[in-house]
Structures are given as C-alpha cells and as structure tokens.
Structure 1
Amino acid sequence: MDIYGWELDPYPVALTAAGLLIALVAWLPLALRRLPLSLPIVCLTIGGLIYTVPHIGLDPSPSAHPHATERLTEFVVIVALMGAGLKIDRRFSFRGWGMSWRLLLITMPLSILAIMLVGMGVLGLSAVAALLLAASLAPTDPVLAVDIQVGGPLEGGEDTVRFALTSEAGLNDGFAFPVVHLAILLSVAATTGEPWFTQWLALHVFWEIIAGIGCGWRVGRIFGWATFKMPGDTLAKTGDGLVAIAATFVSYGVSEMLHCYGFFAVFVTALTLRNSHREHDFQRDMHDITEQIERIAMMLLLLAFGGAIVNGLLAGIGWAEVLSVILILLVIRPITGILALIGARASKGEKLSIAFFGIRGVGSFYYLAYGINHGNFQDADRLWVILSLVVFVSILMHGLTVTPAMRWLDRRQGREVD
C-alpha cells in the first residue's frame, strides 16, 4: 500500500468471495422456501452481476472450455445421483417404481425423437448433431431438480410427483448415454466409414448398461457391509457422512475402468447402500454431506453460466432457436410425459406436474461436452448456444413455478405446505 491507495491481493479477495458464497448456499434454500424463486435463479443472477465487473478476463463459456466443462459437470452429477438415491425411502421394485419406467421407456425415447426432428426441421442441424442435442436435452436433471425431489432419508411424505421426478432423474442418465454414444459413433463413421452398429449395440447398449448395474450393486453391497454390518467398528460409527462421497468415487471410478455407465452405477450404489440398513440415522448424515457438496459445486457452475450469458453466450440466437425452446419445454416434454402417464394411478394435477417439471440443467451440459469431446461435430458452437438457451429458460420457467406448484399440490392432498 502507498499514500495513493493500495493494490488488492487476489487471494484474500477469493477467500472472502468463497466464504460469502458458501454462506449463501447454506442460507438461500431457507430464505427462498416461500418465494417463487429457486436457488439456481439466484446463482445465475449473482454470476451475471460478478461478470459485469471490469477486468475479469476469464471466459466462462462452456464452449471455450469443453474438457473442463465435461469434468466439472460430471463431478456435480455423480454427487447429485448419490444424494438422490440415498433419500428415496421407497424400496426398489419393478411394480412400485412403475411411474419411473413409464417416464424412462415412453417419455424419453419419444422426447429424443421429437427433439431430433425439431433440430433438423426448425434449427437446420444435421441428423447426427440433432441426435446429440436430443440425447443431451431429453433427461431430467438430477442437480437442478432438487426443489421437486423427495425430502431427506426417513422424512416420509414421498408423494407421487416428487418420487416420480426423483427416480426419473436418477435413472434416466443411464438410458440417455447409449444415444449419446450412437451420435458419437455416427459422427466418426461419417468421416472414416468405420462400421458402428455392432460396437454400439454390444458395448454401449448391452454391456455398459448391464455392467453398470452390476458394478453399482457390488460396490453398494461392499460399502453397505462396511458401513453397517462389518464386525467391530463400522463406518457408520465414525459419524462421518463422507462415506457417501467415498462410495460415489469408488463406484464411478471402478465403473469407468470397466467401461460401463458410471452415472447408472452411482445411482444403483446409492440405492443398494440405502437398502443395507434403511432405518439407520447414518443415512441422513451421508445424504446431508452429499447435498452440501452438490449445492456448492452447483452454485459455482451456475455462477459461471450466468457470467457466460452476460458475456454474450446467447448473442447468436434467432427465431428458430426461440421456437425450438418453446417446442422442447412447453410442447414435447409435457405431451410425451402425459402420454407415458396414461392409465397411471395418479390424479390429473399430479400427471400434469410430472409432465411439466422435466428440468434441463447440468446433466445436459455434461452430455453435450462429452459428445463434442469424443465425436466429430461440425455444429459444435451452435449446439452450445441452443442447449444453453434451453437450460437458461428451463431454470427461469421451472424455478419461478416450482414453489407455487408444489405448495398447491400439497394443499390439494392435505399435506403440510412446508
């Protein structure tokens, strides 16, 4: 410092900012509980304000850092999947999870087909690029959908809407990945002429799904035994919920080494770990630590996304992009959701809510980054713009409506609103 002023050291500035952000992560969910706002909307706003400050030279656009985007979004998604699996109280069964299968086996493939047609017919994308975009935007996001998911372990009150959307978000990543790989193989085959069908069907459909389920179940069984049933001092006796993060990393790491679907494996691990001792209080400890880490990481990503928007990420949009967003969020997802729920045991309001709240978010960024990094797509920059616009509108539209909608459903069914 001199008599004319001082130069700020970026390190204490970064520490101060990090402390404020963590405090916001802890406080905002409580403050926003009764407001028609969501944490992601606030994060986007703060990120946009930060990047209006002069002399911030880092470009936060995902298209400028596709490999970093892939890894950061990957981390957030696997932590979110562990948290989602741990907080589902309902035991897994094919009949009890019937609503989930409807959304996975009817809504998702119909959504992929419809979004692909929009990509080709409205946006003018090639068939392969449209397929990658459709696979990226079809799944419901496990990260940003926290406001419409079930509560923590043993809290009870798992209504139809919250359970359906939580289980869908946990499982649909494994069903979307084969389509992402199909787009990658087709993009490569277009330039090399290499055969792709046998590899896609044998490896990316059968092996990676089956092995992902098996890997996730085995890791979950091992951690379940070590946490609750191992002779002597079990992991549960430590009282340290970081056990869930350890299970997340081991499950994902082993599944990736075996070349199977890691997202699928992590969610199966979470369900298996929860089933090892469903009523144990340590389930809450494990869930709470995953939720805290997930919120911090999500907030950092959304700050960067807000900054990217301010920096001109969406500057190139036109009428075609706007029309495609309307079709994807307000036509395709609701209609395909309603079609899947025909005959389901749910009220009309519940069906409409499930069909409407197919939130797009962090997972979509991961799929697109993965596809672009491993494939050969000429329309990569435009794909980033379109996907970013869909996610941005989804955050605003669903974030502004989720609190009133969930409170209305709770009142209709005689539950405590809060």
Structure 2
Amino acid sequence: MQGVRFLMDPYVVVLTVFGMVVLLTAWLPMVLKELPLTLPIFCVALGAAIFAIPHIPGVIPHPREQIKLVEHLSEFVVIIALMGAGLKIDRPFSWRRWKLTWRLLGISMPLTILALVLLGQTLLGLGFATAMLLAATLAPTDPVLASDVQVGPPGGGEEDEVRFSLTSEAGLNDGLAFPFVLLAIFFVHETSLRTFAEWLAYAVVWKVAAGTGIGYLAGRILGWLTFHLPNRARLSRTGVGFVALGITCLVYGLCEIVKGYGFLGVFVAALALRSTQHEHHYHRRLHDFAEELERLTMMVLLVLTGGVITGGGLFESLTWGSAAFAILAIFLVRPLAGWIGLLGVSRPAPEKWAISFFGIRGIGSIYYLAYGLQRGAFEKPDLLWSTTGLIILVSIVLHGVTVTPAMNRLDRHRSVMARKAEARPTPPRGEARLS
C-alpha cells in the first residue's frame, strides 16, 4: 500500500465554510462593537485568506464568468437592506424634515456623477457611455455596508441628524442612481436627442413614478393587512419576522413587473408600512429579521468578494490611473460634493463633514456594474471590475476603521452641547419679551 490520498469534496468545503460564516455572523458584531474594525473588513479578509490557499477545491471565478449570479446575489442583499433601512426610520416623511436627504440626492449625487464621468474619461481613457456607467455605479452610497452609520432599530432613539441623513440617503439613492445606469446603456446603443428624450420619459419619469407609487400603495395595503384587520386575521398576530422577507420580495417583484424601480419601491413600501401603525412593537420583529438576513447574506457575498481578489484575479486589470481614480473618488469627489450639497444648512461643521465623508460604496455598486455590463457592449469591462473592486475595498477598510471613533466622538460632542444648553439659565419672561 503506497498511501491513501484524501480528496476534499467541494460541497463539504462550502458547507463547512458556510457554517463558520453563520456562527461568525452571530458572534462577531458583539466582539467588534467597540473596536475600530467592522464585520465587512473581517469578511473580506476571511475570503481572501481562504481562497489564497493553494489547490482549494472549486477555485472562485472572476465576476465576469458568473455575472448573472453576481447580479442576482447582490440584488437580493440590497433589497433586504433597503427593507431594514426603511423600517428603522422613526422620522415621519416630509420635505422639511428630510431636507438634508433631498440636498444629498438632488445636489451631491449629480455632482458626484459629473465629476466621476470626467475622471473616468481623463484618467481611465473611457468613452462617455462607459464613464457614465462607472460613475452611476459608484455614485450611490450603500445601504448594506453603511449599517454602522445608520439609525438604530425602530423606536431605538438613535436618530440624530448624521445617522438619519446617511440612512435615508442610502435608502433612496440606490433607486435614484438607476436612471444614470440606464442612460449609459441607452447611449452605448445610440446617441441622439431622441435617445435622450426616451431615456427621460422612461428611465426618469415612468420608472421613478411606478416604483414610488407601487411601493407606497403596497406598503399601505400591507400595513392595513398587518395592523388593521380584525384581530384574528391581522398579520402582526403571527409574531414572525420572516413576513419582512415576503413583503420585500412581493413589492420588488410588483415594481419590476410594471417596469418601475424595485429598489425605490421596497424602501418606500417600508416607510409606508411603518407609518400605518408607527409605534407597534411588530415593526421591531420585522426589522430584526431583515437585519439578521441582511447580515448573513452580506457576509457570504463579502467572503466571496475577498476570494475573488486573491483567487479570481479581480485586480489583474488595475492601472495607475485606476488607483488615482479611486483615491480621488473617495477622498475628494464624495466629500466635496457632499459638502457643497449641505452649504447653507444650519448644522455644526463636524456633522456636515461626517455626512459628506461616510459615503460608503459596496454591494449596490457590484449590482449596478453587473447589470450594466450585461445590457451593453461597454469598453474595458475588466478595468471597470478592477476599479470598482478597488474602491469598494478601500471604502470598506477606510470607513470601517474610522466609523466607530468618528461616531463616538460626534455623540460625545452632542452630549456636551446638550448639557451646556440645559445648564444655560433661562431668561425671565419679561426680559425675553424686551429683547
């Protein structure tokens, strides 16, 4: 007998790694809570380490080789995150109370797209359509990886202006960046005024209106079924959290059937559902399930992302232009565009800088790029994957390391200012009138 050769079954390896990921999903957030280290950083590092092992079964492919799977997996993670983000917002919807959100969406995001288009053409040598696809891919902040800068659970009281602005922006801009992805697809096929008019009518007017309308109606109807039916029939009596998954998939599917923006519809539906019975304890159960599912699917996707870096050759097409593009996008474009969007807002400068800086890129960018590359003959697709992957990696590490100390410092500053305001003597009523 010359020896026994043991072969690892790829299925067994995947099952083992998945079990480890599930356990880490539950354990790591508790361990990392007070450290300048986040779950996404650990996941990417874990995936990179696992798939760097020589001869590991089932070598992970480059995203282009499984692009449809990449699209749908990232899509699912994003819609679950959007449902959780919408359910956790306590602030009622209004133009005045959401004014910082509208500024980030209406001023900062278009400025970001414009700047990234110019950088893509200058540093990467891309044509307009391809530069537009890359810019639209990277413009929206991410509802998945931004959980550490978002508001707390429903009714948790963690809804200061910084956390609220970043949560509501991430919830809405994943849908509102989609028109620019479609503009890139339109222009890669044909360039004319007619093309632009069709894009405006279809990608902006119809798809935004359909996504918003379906999301609102579905959220209100599902809210009535959940909270306002006779007691025996209402959904809230079930007490189960996986209803959130059913609502998410139903609303997303309805929006996509009528050619609306499903991302936008899911977030609006969550807001509408929450508004039907704002203080009900069942919202917490729905949110907690959505958050747990989001965390698990996010970890799986990020472990695979780390594996693609070391085992799939994601960075093989990187250039010095890509590195310069990534540095400018993260350290200059988003912070400057965010600051410009918040000019004139009466908030402390540290809060405005935090809102501007924590424009985290992540899973949504993966989805948009996979979506766009399947629907148009864009140039240099491997360069687009490498550049987007680099920006996501830098964002995960940079924002992950800085988010905990930055938010803690803002919280301390806010507490000090609140105590000073309470200690300040109130002038007599007569003096107040005279002044």
Normalising by structure 2, report the TM-score.
0.92
CA apart distance, 1:58? 3.1
1:198 aligns with 2:197: yes
Alignment partners' CA distance in 2, 1:338 and 1:53? 44
Alignment partners' CA distance in 2, 1:33 and 1:331? 28
For residue 196 of structure 1, give the secondary structure of its aligned residue in structure 2. helix
Task: State the AA in 2 paired with 1:205.
Answer: V
Aligned to 2:373: 372
The equivalences for 1:245-260 within 5 A come to 245-260=245-260
Alignment partners' CA distance in 1, 2:60 and 2:4? 32
- CA contact under 8 A between 1:61 and 1:304: conserved in structure 2? no
- CA contact under 8 A between 2:317 and 2:382: conserved in structure 1? no
- CA contact under 8 A between 1:70 and 1:369: conserved in structure 2? yes
Alignment partners' CA distance in 2, 1:5 and 1:369? 40
Aligned to 1:285: 285
Alignment partners' CA distance in 2, 1:308 and 1:18? 17
Task: State the AA in 1 paired with 2:34.
Answer: R
CA apart distance, 1:136? 0.5
CA apart distance, 1:17? 2.4
For 1:258-304, what per-residue CA distance to the aligned partner results, in whole angstroms no more than 9, with x for missing partners? 00100000000000011111111110100011011111111111111
Alignment partners' CA distance in 2, 1:49 and 1:368? 25
Alignment partners' CA distance in 1, 2:334 and 2:194? 33
The equivalences for 1:113-132 within 5 A come to 113-132=114-133
Alignment partners' CA distance in 1, 2:64 and 2:367? 12
Task: State the AA in 1 paired with 2:374.
Answer: N
1:301 aligns with 2:301: yes
Task: State the AA in 2 paired with 1:343.
Answer: G
- CA contact under 8 A between 1:116 and 1:131: conserved in structure 2? yes
Aligned to 1:322: 323
Aligned to 2:217: 218
Task: State the AA in 2 paired with 1:218.
Answer: L
Alignment partners' CA distance in 2, 1:43 and 1:60? 18
Aligned to 2:429: none
CA apart distance, 1:195? 4.3
Q: How many residue pairs align between the two structures?
A: 412
Alignment partners' CA distance in 2, 1:162 and 1:275? 20
- CA contact under 8 A between 1:79 and 1:245: conserved in structure 2? yes
- CA contact under 8 A between 2:10 and 2:58: conserved in structure 1? no
Alignment partners' CA distance in 1, 2:316 and 2:371? 24
Q: CA RMSD of the aligned region, Å?
A: 1.6
Q: Identity, % of aligned pairs?
A: 50
CA apart distance, 1:306? 0.4
Normalising by structure 1, report the TM-score.
0.95
1:389 aligns with 2:428: no
1:145 aligns with 2:143: no
For 1:290-323, what per-residue CA distance to the aligned partner results, in whole angstroms no more than 9, with x for missing partners? 0111111111111111011113311332221111
- CA contact under 8 A between 1:60 and 1:304: conserved in structure 2? no
CA apart distance, 1:196? 1.5
Structure 1: stretches of 5+ with no match in the other structure: none
CA apart distance, 1:61? 2.5
Alignment partners' CA distance in 1, 2:61 and 2:220? 40
- CA contact under 8 A between 1:111 and 1:332: conserved in structure 2? yes
Structure 2: stretches of 5+ with no match in the other structure: 417-435
Aligned to 2:33: 33
For 1:6-47, what per-residue CA distance to the aligned partner results, in whole angstroms no more than 9, with x for missing partners? 555554443332222111011111111111111110000100
The equivalences for 1:6-405 within 5 A come to 6-55=6-55, 56-189=57-190, 195-231=194-230, 232-311=232-311, 312-405=313-406
Aligned to 2:409: 408
Task: State the AA in 2 paired with 1:87.
Answer: K
CA apart distance, 1:401? 0.6
